[in-house]
């Protein structure tokens, strides 16, 4: 493959999307290299972070939505674009060299895309400025556009020697001008990446119980979904963390359609701290941290247990119950974050960011059972410890 970058619309086979517990990748045709080993340039978008790695653009979704995107074009890309422009100038009778004159990009160019459109800016005075209508337009302090394309303040006069071009000829000329301009193609490439990622489901929190109440018998859902939990005796509120202390009770959240993931990606998570004076969980007497349905429940189920290792169970319409277990111990009296996730044919358990996963085919998970936290509905498999930050996220 050539070292010089060229920006062309990626073929269908050049774009791949994949979802996992942490990343989705969108690879596009952009053969550019990182500046140095382990220091790949990147830019952030409203859906993630794009960085050059092994001569490809890679998009990694970010949790935080940003209103701007900034691309720092690596020097090899800038050099390649300038070299490409120099050859075009030479073939057209020009005599400029790469990096000289106002028609070339300088090092450290940045792409900024905001609500009004996109811009490609260098540390010189070449720029692609956002148009008020949202259409990117090229401007420059001199009579030339950025990156070497010539422009006139008014159209040339037409005569018998220079007849007015037909509509088809004019359109063809415009297409050729766009294809010769790496800046416009770069903007188009970023738009292509944005379209690919916008088709993915946006994660949505449908349950968020901080368990930080200091009185009462209601666990308030702050997700906006109205999925409050209720509980009786056997739970002490206002504990360090803040958290609830579970001894003989459990929290119950009534079933709603939003708590059923169906065939889509979803995760359920919480923070757990073991009560060091309690009996350790075992395979025969485990802790049910949270669950929706039993293994025999029609429509499937999901749950998180300590047996004694953190284990996630999933049962869908396509298969019997499947499990994935973390090797990380959480029985030390400190809070640990535990997350169970199903996405793109994989199930995983993450303990304090340490992920263990396996490939499965589950099908739809949807039932009418209540969500219980701290034990089963009948109080069996009682959790002995402290819980907080119970969440379910779909998408």
Listing DSSP states for 51-93 in one string gives: EEETTEEEEEE-SS--S-EEEEE-HHHHHHHHHHHHHHHHHTT
**pTM of this prediction?**
0.54
Domain-terminating residue out of 165, 198, 231: 198
Same domain flag for 219 and 276: yes
Q: Kindly report the CATH number assigned to the domain that includes residue 237.
A: 2.60.120.200
- The pLDDT score that the predictor gives to residue 160 is 60
Residue 10: DSSP 8-state: P
Q: Which residue has the higher pLDDT, 30 or 294?
A: 294
Domain-terminating residue out of 198, 232, 252: 198
156 Cβ neighbours under 8 A, 6+ residues apart = 162
Q: Which of 129-138, 164-173, 210-219 holds the top average pLDDT?
A: 210-219
User: 63-79 in b/e burial notation, b at 16+ Cβ within 10 A?
Assistant: eeeeeebebbbbebbbb
Same domain flag for 150 and 274: no
Is residue 263 a part of any domain in this protein? yes
Same domain flag for 220 and 162: no
Is residue 160 a part of any domain in this protein? yes
Domain enclosing residue 328, as ranges: 204-394
Same domain flag for 249 and 339: yes
| Spatial contact of 210 and 357, defined as CB atoms under 8 Å apart | no
Q: Which residue has the higher pLDDT, 145 or 116?
A: 116
**Separation of alpha carbons 367 and 358, rounded Å:** 24
Same domain flag for 190 and 251: no
- pLDDT digits over 64-118, tens only? 333 333 444 555 555 666 666 666 666 655 544 444 444 444 443 344 334 433 4
Same domain flag for 208 and 67: no
Looking at the 3D structure of the chain, how many domains does it have?
A: 2
- pLDDT digits over 149-194, tens only? 233 334 455 556 556 666 666 656 655 665 556 555 556 555 555 5
Work out the average pLDDT over 240-258.
97
CA distances from 98 to 44, 55, 144, 374 (A): 29, 22, 16, 67
Same domain flag for 193 and 218: no
Same domain flag for 143 and 219: no
Same domain flag for 45 and 19: yes
Work out the average pLDDT over 261-272.
98
| Spatial contact of 140 and 125, defined as CB atoms under 8 Å apart | yes
**Separation of alpha carbons 352 and 367, rounded Å:** 29
- pLDDT digits over 323-359, tens only? 999 999 999 999 999 999 999 999 999 999 999 999 9
* Range from 149-158, 299-308, 361-370 carrying the lowest mean pLDDT: 149-158
320 pLDDT tier (thresholds 50, 70, 90) = confident
Q: What distance lies between CA 205 and its chain's CA centroid? A: 15
pLDDT > 70 in the chain, percent = 49
Domain-terminating residue out of 198, 222, 242: 198
């Amino acid at each position: 493959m050539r070292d010089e970058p060229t920006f062309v619309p990626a073929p269908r086979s050049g774009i791949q999307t994949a979802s996992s517990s942490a990343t989705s990748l969108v690879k596009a045709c952009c053969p550019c290299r990182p500046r140095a080993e382990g220091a790949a340039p990147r830019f952030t978008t409203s859906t993630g972070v794009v960085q050059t790695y092994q001569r490809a653009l890679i998009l990694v979704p970010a949790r935080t939505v940003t209103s701007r995107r900034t691309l720092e074009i690596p020097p090899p890309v800038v050099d390649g674009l300038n070299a490409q422009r120099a050859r075009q100038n030479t073939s057209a009778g020009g005599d400029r060299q790469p990096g000289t004159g106002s028609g070339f990009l300088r090092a450290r160019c940045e792409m900024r895309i905001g609500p009004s459109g996109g811009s490609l800016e260098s540390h010189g005075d070449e720029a692609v400025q956002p148009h008020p209508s949202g259409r990117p337009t090229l401007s420059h302090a001199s009579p030339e556009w950025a990156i070497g394309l010539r422009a006139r303040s008014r159209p040339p006069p037409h005569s018998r020697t220079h007849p007015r071009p037909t509509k088809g000829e004019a359109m063809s000329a415009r297409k050729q001008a766009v294809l010769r301009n790496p800046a416009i193609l770069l903007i188009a490439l970023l738009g292509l990446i944005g379209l690919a990622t916008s088709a993915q489901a946006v994660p949505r929190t449908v349950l968020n119980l901080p368990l930080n109440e200091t009185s009462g018998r209601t666990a308030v859902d702050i997700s906006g979904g109205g999925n409050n939990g209720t509980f009786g005796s056997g739970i002490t509120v206002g504990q360090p963390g803040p958290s609830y202390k579970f001894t003989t009770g459990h929290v119950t959240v009534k079933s709603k359609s939003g708590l059923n993931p169906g065939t889509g990606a979803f995760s359920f998570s919480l923070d757990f701290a073991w009560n060091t004076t309690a009996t350790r969980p075992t395979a025969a007497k485990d802790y049910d941290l949270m669950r929706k349905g039993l293994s025999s429940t029609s429509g499937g189920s999901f749950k998180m247990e300590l047996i004694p290792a953190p284990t996630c169970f999933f049962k869908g319409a396509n298969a019997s119950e499947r499990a994935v277990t973390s090797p990380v111990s959480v029985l030390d009296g400190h809070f640990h974050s535990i997350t169970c996730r199903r996405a793109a044919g994989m199930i995983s358990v993450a303990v304090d960011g340490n992920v263990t996963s396996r490939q499965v085919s589950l099908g739809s998970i949807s039932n009418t059972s209540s969500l219980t936290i701290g034990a089963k509905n009948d109080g069996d498999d009682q959790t002995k410890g402290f819980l907080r930050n119970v969440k379910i996220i779909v998408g």
